[in-house]
Structure 1
Amino acid sequence: MTPAVNLLKKLKIKFNIHQYEHDSKETHYGKEAISKLDPQLDIVAGQIFKTLVVSLNGDNKSFAVCVLPVNCHLDFKKVAKALNCKNIELADPNVAQKITGYLVGGISPLGQKKQLPTLIDLTAKQFPMMFISGGRRGLEIEISPDDLLNILHAQFVEIIV
C-alpha cells in the first residue's frame, strides 16, 4: 500500500479505500475521479478533494498543502492570508513530487515525506466523509474531515474562489 494508507492503519483511523482504473492518457485527475467514483458511490463532486502544493513567497524553500474540492479553483489571496505570507503560487510539479514523495495526480495530503502546513477548504465540514488521494492515481481514501484535520494538524479555511 501507500504511505497514506499505512499511516491511517498505524493510527487506527476509520477509512475506506476506493480504487478505479486510471487512464494513463488522462491528465485531468480530479475530473477522472469524479467520473469514475460517482457511479460507484452516492457522492457529489464536492466531496472529492484534490491536494495542491504551493510555494510561499516565491522562494521555492517554503511550502504548504491545500486540500480543496476537485471541481473548484484555489483562491491564492485567501491562501496567502491564511498562511500569513505575501503571496503563494503553485509549486513546480517536479518539486511537488520531490517534497511529497508522490506523483502529481496522486499526491495525498497524508504520508508525505515531510508534513507541511495544511489548509483544508471549509466546504469539507459539510460532509460526513470526504475523498482524498490515497497516494497514487486511481486510489481514493474516504475519510472523515475531522480525522483528516486532526492527523495533519491542519486548519479549515475558505480557500476556494
Structure 2
Amino acid sequence: MAAVKTNVMRVLEQHKIAYTAHEYEHGKEAVDGETVARLLGQNPEQVFKTLVARGRSGGFHVFVIPVGRELDLKKAAKAAGEKSVELVHVKELLALTGYVRGGCSPVGMKKAFPTVFDETASAQPTVMVSAGKIGFQVECAPEALIALTHAGLAPLTAD
C-alpha cells in the first residue's frame, strides 16, 4: 500500500469510492502506460491513460483510453460534439489540469472538463488510472470513476 496520499486518493475517499493504490518504480521521466502496466503486473486493457484535447470550439475535453491504444481524433471529436480536437501540448498540461505528463488523472483536475472514457472501460471488472503523481496508480470500479467524473462512454481508439 502506498504511504503517499495523492489528491486523487483524497477525492476518491471524499466520495466514498473504494480504490486500491499501486506504486511503481520510475526514474525522473514519465514512463509510458504499457510499461506501467508491466511494472504493476496488470493487463494493459485495464490500465487507462488520460489525454487532454482542445476542441475546435476552444473548449477542453478529457479522454481516458487503454494505455496500449491510440486516440482516434475523429472518434474523440464526435464523442465530444466537436468538429475536430487536437491534443494539448505537454507544456500546457500542468497549468490546465494541475497534473504533469505521466501523472495526469481524470479525477481531481483543477477544473472539471467534459470527460469521455473509451467504451472498453465498462467491460473491465476494475480499471487503473493515474493517482495524479508519476509512480502512483489507483484501481477502482469503472462505473465509480465514470460517475465521479460525469463521463460518457464512446469508442475512442483507432482500430
The one of 123, 128, 146 aligned to 1:149: 146
Post-superposition Cα deviations, 1:81-123, rounded to whole Å, max 9, x if no partner, equal 1111111000011212211101110001000000100000011
The one of 83, 91, 97 aligned to 1:86: 83
Alignment partner of 1:24 out of 11, 28, 31: 28
**CA shift digits 1:35-93 (9 cap, x unpaired):** 2011xxxx311100000000111x6x411100000000001001111111111000011
1:71 corresponds to which of 68, 87, 97: 68
Tell me how many residue pairs correspond in the alignment: 154
Question: 2:127 is matched with which residue?
Answer: 130
**Alignment gaps of 5+ in structure 2:** none
Whole-angstrom CA distance in 1 between matches of 2:37 and 2:9: 21
Q: Distance in 2 between matches of 1:34 and 1:142?
A: 12
SS of residue matched to 1:71: coil
Greater CA drift, 88-97 or 101-110: 88-97
Moved over 4 A (4+): none
1:28 to partner: Cα distance? 3.8
Residue among 8, 12, 33 paired with 1:8: 12
Distance 2:45 2:79 in 1: 22
| Aligned 8 A contact 1:2 1:135 in 2 | yes
| Residue 23 (structure 1) shift | 2.1
Q: Which amino acid aligns with 2:37?
A: I
- How do residues 20-59 of structure 1 correspond to structure 2 at under 5 angstroms? 20-25=24-29, 27-38=30-41, 43-57=42-56
What's the TM-score, normalizing by structure 1?
Answer: 0.91
Q: Separation in 1 of the partners of 2:31 and 2:138?
A: 18
- CA shift for structure 1 position 157: 0.7
Q: How many Å separate the matches in 1 of 2:23 and 2:65?
A: 20
TM-score, normalised with respect to structure 2: 0.92
- Partner-residue secondary structure (3-state), 1:119: strand
Structure 1 spans left out of the alignment, 5+ residues: none
Give the secondary structure class of the aligned counterpart of 1:46.
coil
Identity over aligned pairs, percent: 36
